[in-house]
């Protein structure tokens, strides 16, 4: 496994892999602090691609001024060991000044689907995500890129960008990996205190509740959201609800009546940690 800190090095690796016939190339963009969720993406890339590049880069431009950029975990030795163990061929781990040298003035902006949910709570977040992902795609030049369903809105926004800009890369979305109690794996779970960690399971509980209600015939999104909010309020006294929504899977617009596949999405703050989760909620097909 090689570790590249410069754009030139990672491009040389990819060019070499291509010359050796190792195609397609897959890329797994991450901010490091890798957990089983990330490793499931790497494993999927390993199965589908002949060369796998993982980027480890805590991207400053997707953090708001009062967010956790400085404190975001950076366990680089453990991440590199994990990549090695999972058969990664090359790690791209650039310093900030390699990705953002002075004078940069370009932003990739996705409007509608990026403005709702997390985009409403974190202004500029998805501009930062899209811009750094576009850069990574141009730097690595992979045929496929792997993202986790946990960051559902991110997958929608990145797919939108790729489609709109005709980027020659296939976006692969892999299922959310969960702790035994159901909590979605996230690098930010490390921020939780003991009591917060116990309460955090309420996010997935509220999503499963939504799924059950819809399955049982509840079609009013407002009723489902009310039940989810009630569950969260009861189970998460330490947390502050950021949003609870039932949205269209592509546009991320809120839906009123659940008569087509929809996505339930929640975000809850615990102190400085902000946890998100989501789940598909489908009305069963009507018979007769």
7-19 vs 125-140: helix crossing angle, rounded to 10:
50
Enumerate the β-bridge partners of residue 102. none
Stretch that binds a second copy, among 39-47, 67-75, 147-155, 161-169 (CB under 8 A): 161-169
Which residues are catalytically annotated? 38
Q: Give least dist CB 113 to a second copy, A.
A: 6
Q: Of 26, 142, 39, nearest to 81 (Cα)? A: 39
Q: With CB under 8 A, what is the number of residues at the site for a second copy? A: 29
Applying CB under 8 A, does 8 fall inside the site for a second copy? no
Applying CB under 8 A, does 117 fall inside the site for a second copy? no
Q: Which tokens is 26 given? A: 């897959």
Between residues 81 and 104, which has the closer beta carbon with respect to a second copy? 104
Residues between 119 and 138 with contacts to a second copy, criterion CB under 8 A:
130-131, 134-135, 138
Distance CA 281, CA 259 (A): 10
Q: Give least dist CB 108 to a second copy, A.
A: 6
Applying CB under 8 A, does 216 fall inside the site for a second copy? no
CB 11 within 8 A of CB 139: yes
Cβ atoms within 10 Å of 187's Cβ, excluding its own: 19
Between residues 99 and 267, which has the closer beta carbon with respect to a second copy? 99
Residues between 81 and 110 with contacts to a second copy, criterion CB under 8 A:
103-110
Applying CB under 8 A, does 12 fall inside the site for a second copy? no
> In degrees rounded to 5, what are phi and psi of residue 264?
-90, 130
Distance CA 100, CA 280 (A): 36
CB 125 within 8 A of CB 158: no
Applying CB under 8 A, does 5 fall inside the site for a second copy? no
Residues that bind a second copy (CB under 8 A): 7, 11, 103-114, 130-131, 134-135, 138-139, 141, 160-161, 163-168
């Amino acid at each position: 496994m090689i570790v590249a800190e410069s754009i030139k090095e990672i491009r040389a690796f990819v060019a070499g892999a291509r010359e050796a016939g190792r195609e397609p190339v897959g890329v797994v963009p991450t901010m490091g602090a890798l957990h089983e969720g990330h490793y499931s993406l790497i494993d999927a890339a390993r199965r589908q691609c002949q060369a796998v590049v993982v980027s480890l880069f805590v991207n400053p431009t997707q953090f708001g001024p009062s967010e956790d950029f400085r404190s975001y975990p950076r366990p680089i030795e453990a991440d590199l060991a994990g990549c090695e163990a999972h058969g990664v061929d090359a790690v791209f781990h650039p310093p900030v000044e390699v990705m953002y040298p002075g004078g940069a003035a370009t932003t990739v902006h996705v409007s509608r689907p990026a403005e709702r949910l997390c985009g409403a709570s974190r202004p500029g977040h998805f501009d930062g995500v899209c811009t750094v992902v576009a850069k990574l795609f141009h730097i690595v030049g992979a045929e496929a890129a792997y993202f986790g369903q946990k960051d559902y809105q991110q997958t929608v926004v990145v797919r939108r960008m790729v489609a709109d800009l005709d980027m020659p890369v296939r976006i692969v979305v892999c299922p959310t990996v969960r702790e035994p109690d159901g909590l979605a794996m996230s690098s930010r779970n490390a921020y939780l205190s003991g009591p917060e960690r116990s309460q955090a399971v309420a996010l997935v509980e509220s999503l499963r509740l939504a799924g059950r209600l819809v399955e049982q015939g509840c079609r009013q999104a407002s009723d489902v959201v009310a039940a989810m909010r009630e569950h969260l309020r009861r189970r998460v006294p330490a947390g502050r609800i950021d949003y609870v929504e039932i949205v269209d899977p592509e546009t991320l617009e809120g839906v009123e009546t659940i008569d087509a596949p929809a996505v339930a999405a929640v975000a809850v703050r615990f102190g400085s940690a902000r946890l998100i989760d989501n789940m598909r909620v489908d009305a069963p097909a009507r018979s007769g």
